[in-house]
Amino acid sequence: MKQILNIIPMIVFFIFYNLYDIFIASGSLIVMSGTICLFYWIFYNEIDKINLFSFFMITFFGLLTIFFHNSQFIKWKITIIYIVFSMILLISQFFTNKPIIQRFLERDINISSVYWRKINLIWSLFFLFCSILNIYIAFWFSEQTWVIFKVFGFTFLTFILVLITGVYINYKILKEK
């Protein structure tokens, strides 16, 4: 349920972009992201750190986009979010006992620490790749192409990596038994 809620602001952004422009879409993204955080607070009595961080980044870059009437700001938002995610995963990979991914999932999934580190590193590299890919698409293609890729391309790439990660974890669980 929570993962589906996190997709809603992107879909609203896409719809408003197609109906109006990048500036109205940026405003709608801010409003929907805030609404999702409020929903989490009301129904779960907490807001995930990732959602809160995303909300602040969306608000910051969205307001810059609207205020300066320059779409470059909103294009950098996802790049910076992905770089921060990549760095956090890398820091947890090398400077903590347990990588972040293991901390999130170890209650539900029991695999060796070695495999968690591999998964964590793959996700870190994935976010780094996505940040570079976003820069390339944002600045070498049309704004419309970037919007389509931002909403559907990154969602598809993330879905594929989730599937690959799930298959890898399942394989390692079976192998350890």
User: In whole angstroms, what is the distance from residue 89 CA to residue 147 CA?
Assistant: 26
* Residue 66: domain span: 1-70
Residue finishing a domain among 70, 103, 125: 70
- Expressed in angstroms, the distance from the first to the final Cα of the chain is 31
Same domain, 36 and 123: no
Same domain, 83 and 161: yes
Residue finishing a domain among 24, 41, 70: 70
Q: How many CB atoms lie within 10 A of CB 97?
A: 8
User: At residue 47, what are phi and psi to the nearest 5 degrees?
Assistant: -125, 125
Residues of the chain with pLDDT under 70: 1-2, 177
Residue 85's pLDDT is what?
A: 96
Instruction: Evaluate if pTM is beyond 0.85.
Output: yes
User: In whole angstroms, what is the distance from residue 15 CA to residue 108 CA?
Assistant: 36
Same domain, 109 and 173: yes
Residue 54's pLDDT is what?
A: 93
* Sign of the Cα pseudo-torsion (49, 55, 58, 61, in order): negative
Q: How many CB atoms lie within 10 A of CB 147?
A: 22
